[in-house]
């Protein structure tokens, strides 16, 4: 709308793919989400040049946040080299001209599906989560008007009962994902399908954490240094569990492990899910030895 | 501030938009987001050159966030024909009443009483006003702040405490505030708790 005769405008107008009006709408939603940690702000989700399930919510949030000076990292279940991660990284390289990296320590904005990096985040970083189902109460109540009312009234008793029943029936499920949390002592929110192991990293993070759900068109957020508590029970306290092994590549006993099949004879091994963490650790060990 | 004497531009009310709209807006949003995500941390925000008395920070924030879907109210301190024309040209935001506004702009004195601004509804606490409060200066001193976005505590020079304490008491309802001075901006979301010094 301003100075339309300037030649630079044509190039930069659709910076990060989305038009300015759409980014304004997303940016307003992000600010309200940060003002009320854990509350899901509705937004008008746009068609993106990728199917739902490929992180269209995260992509829209990233598009609204990116600046030309950013260095972007994209991970899918901890790995930088999956089809999904590679295509999102290329998308923003092309549409926003941003630099990219696989190193957590070098990234200023990290878009993630299903993991929080092992390397602690800093105040100079933004973590954007791809969220398939933003409503933690949806499994109890399919009606949006009802779940909104439950959040408004802090009516979380039924949810606690259901979670308790699940634990009592199935025991502690070590590989459970999207374990609900309480944000800033007020809203129950989903951390997206990260493993329970990652839940403690949500709390008191120095980084800004933003959550985007494309199909359901919701954004929620955690400002830095926000108290986030995983839901649990006196007789079933929350445990940030992981496989009781060490990584067979880098030897880490602290990082979250994936069990991978190594051959068609049923051979298996445990390796870090965070490929950058594992690679950096292996390289450091290599240097020590030589 | 000393206003430099300049030759009158051809369209004085319409100059001062973003030189590079997408990039300027992106950088300015990041400053605004960090300001609101980290209450008490003062950020620099530039890009727009609005007509007086609007500050660079407030004008830039207006261009980042306002459009035809966001009714705005200018408090008497800022309700001038020049500023209305500038905002209309650059954002197309319609003007409305204090009670109906998504964004309000003014000095603290002119915005008071702030209890009239939208604070959202229990089902939709996001449907709350954003206040842009023009200040003579901003400093990381004064009222002690705690809450989301703040490690331990922070301090910020606020025009008063009682009104913000009353707003915080409505949480999760409440308006959210940006304080602007020159090219500086600070955020005060409804989640922030204030303590008198
Ligand atoms: Zn490893």
The string of pLDDT tens digits covering residues A215-231 is 999 999 999 999 999 99
Q: Where are the alpha helices (DSSP H) in chain A?
A: 7-12, 20-35, 56-65, 83-96, 144-152, 157-170, 275-289
Contact status of A44 with chain B (Cβ, < 8 Å) = no
Nearest one of A183, A174, A186 to A202, comparing CA atoms: A183
* Structure-token pair, residue B88: 């209309």
Flag whether residue A64 sits within 8 Å of chain B, measured between CB atoms: yes
Nearest chain A residue to B16 by CA distance is: A2
> Given A12, A37, A206, which is nearest B191 (Cβ)?
A37
pLDDT at A270: 96
Q: How far, in Å, is the centroid of ligand 1 from the Cα of A285?
A: 11
Active-site annotation of A, residues: 38, 247, 250, 272, 278
Q: What is the pLDDT of residue A218?
A: 98
Are B119 and B173 within 8 A, CB to CB? yes
Is the CB of A14 less than 8 angstroms away from the CB of B18?
Answer: no
Q: Are the beta carbons of B72 and B103 closer than 8 angstroms?
A: yes
The predicted-structure confidence for B141-174, as pLDDT tens digits, reads as follows: 999 999 999 999 999 999 999 999 999 999 999 9
Does B190 contact A35 at a Cβ distance shorter than 8 Å?
yes
DSSP conformational letter for B77:
T
User: What is the phi/psi pair of residue A65, to 5°?
Assistant: -100, -30
Return the SS3 of A138: coil
Which among B21, B29, B126 is the nearest to A27, CB-wise? B29
What is the ipTM for the molecules in this complex?
0.94
CB pairs under 8 A between A and B: 141
pLDDT at residue B79 in the model: 98
Run of H or E residues at B24: helix B21-37
Contacts of A119 (CB under 8 A, 6+ apart): A104, A105, A274, A276, A277, A280
Instruction: Work out the angle at residue A59's Cα, subtended by the Cα atoms of residues A56 and A64, and round it to the nearest 5 degrees.
Output: 130
Verify whether the Cβ–Cβ distance A12 to B176 is below 8 Å: no
d(CA A31, CA A41): 10
Q: What is the DSSP string of A182-235?
A: EETTTEEE---S-BGGGGGGGTT-SSEEEEEETTTTEEEEE-TT--EEE--BTT
pLDDT for res B2: 54
Quick one: residue A4, left, alpha or beta (phi over 0 = left, psi -120 to 50 = alpha)?
alpha
pLDDT in tens, chain B (197 residues): 455 555 545 455 689 999 999 999 999 999 999 999 999 999 999 999 999 999 999 999 999 999 999 999 999 999 999 999 999 999 999 999 999 999 999 999 999 999 999 999 999 999 999 999 999 999 999 999 999 999 999 999 999 999 999 999 999 999 999 999 999 999 999 999 999 75
What residues does the ion ligand 1 have nearby, CB within 5 Å? A 247, 249-250, 252, 272, 278
CA-based angle B25:B29:B31, to the nearest 5?
125
Q: Does A10 touch chain B (CB under 8 A)?
A: no
Residue in B9, B64, B59, B90 with CA at minimum distance from that of residue A2: B90
- Tell me which DSSP letter residue A236 carries: B
Tell me the two tokens of residue A116.
């929080």
**What is the whole-number distance in angstroms between the Cα of residue A124 and the centre of ligand 1?**
25
Residue B26 with chain A: CB contacts under 8 Å: 15-16, 23, 65-68
Inter-chain CB proximity B128 and A222 less than 8 Å: no
Q: Residues of chain A whose pLDDT is less than 50?
A: 1-13
């Amino acid at each position: 709308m301003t100075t339309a005769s300037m030649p630079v405008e044509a190039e930069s107008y659709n910076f990060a793919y989305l038009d300015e009006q759409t980014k304004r709408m997303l940016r307003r939603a992000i600010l309200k989400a940060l003002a009320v940690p854990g509350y899901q702000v509705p937004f008008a989700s746009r068609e993106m040049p990728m199917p739902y399930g490929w992180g269209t919510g995260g992509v829209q949030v990233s598009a609204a946040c990116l600046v030309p000076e950013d260095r972007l990292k994209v991970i899918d279940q901890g790995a930088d080299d999956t089809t999904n991660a590679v295509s999102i990284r290329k998308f923003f390289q092309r549409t926003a001209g941003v630099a990219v990296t696989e190193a957590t320590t070098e990234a200023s904005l990290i878009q993630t599906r299903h993991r929080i990096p092992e390397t602690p985040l800093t105040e100079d970083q933004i973590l954007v989560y791809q969220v398939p189902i933003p409503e933690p109460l949806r499994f109890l109540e399919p009606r949006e008007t009802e779940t909104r009312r439950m959040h408004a009234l802090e009516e979380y008793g039924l949810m606690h009962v259901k979670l308790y029943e699940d634990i009592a029936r199935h025991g502690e499920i070590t590989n459970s994902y999207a374990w609900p949390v309480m944000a800033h002592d007020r809203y129950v929110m989903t951390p997206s399908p990260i493993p329970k192991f990652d839940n403690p990293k949500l709390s008191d993070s120095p980084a800004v954490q933003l959550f985007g759900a494309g199909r359901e068109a919701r954004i929620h957020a955690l400002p830095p240094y926000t108290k986030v508590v995983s839901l649990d029970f006196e007789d079933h306290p929350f445990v940030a569990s992981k496989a009781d092994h060490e990584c067979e590549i880098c030897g880490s006993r602290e990082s979250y492990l994936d069990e991978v099949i190594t051959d068609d004879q049923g051979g298996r091994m445990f390796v870090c899910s965070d490929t950058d963490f594992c690679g950096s650790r292996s390289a450091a060990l290599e240097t020590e030895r030589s | 501030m000393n206003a430099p004497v300049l030759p009158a531009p051809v369209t004085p009310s319409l100059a001062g938009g973003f030189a590079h709209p997408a990039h300027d807006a992106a950088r300015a949003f990041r400053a605004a987001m960090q300001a609101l995500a980290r209450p008490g941390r003062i950020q620099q925000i530039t890009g727009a050159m609005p007509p007086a008395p609007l500050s660079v920070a407030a004008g830039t924030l207006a261009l980042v966030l306002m459009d035809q879907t966001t009714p705005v109210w200018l408090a008497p301190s800022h309700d001038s024909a020049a500023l209305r024309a500038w905002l209309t040209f650059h954002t197309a935001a319609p003007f409305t009443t204090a009670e109906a506004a998504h964004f309000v702009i003014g000095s603290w004195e002119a915005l008071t009483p702030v209890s009239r601004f939208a604070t959202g509804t229990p089902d939709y606490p996001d449907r709350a006003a954003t206040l842009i409060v023009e200040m003579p200066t901003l400093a990381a001193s004064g009222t002690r702040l705690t809450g989301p976005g703040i490690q331990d505590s922070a301090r910020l020079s606020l025009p008063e405490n009682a009104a913000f304490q009353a707003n915080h008491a409505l949480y999760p309802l409440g308006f959210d505030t940006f304080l602007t001075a020159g090219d500086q901006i600070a955020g005060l979301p409804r989640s922030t708790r204030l303590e008198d010094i």
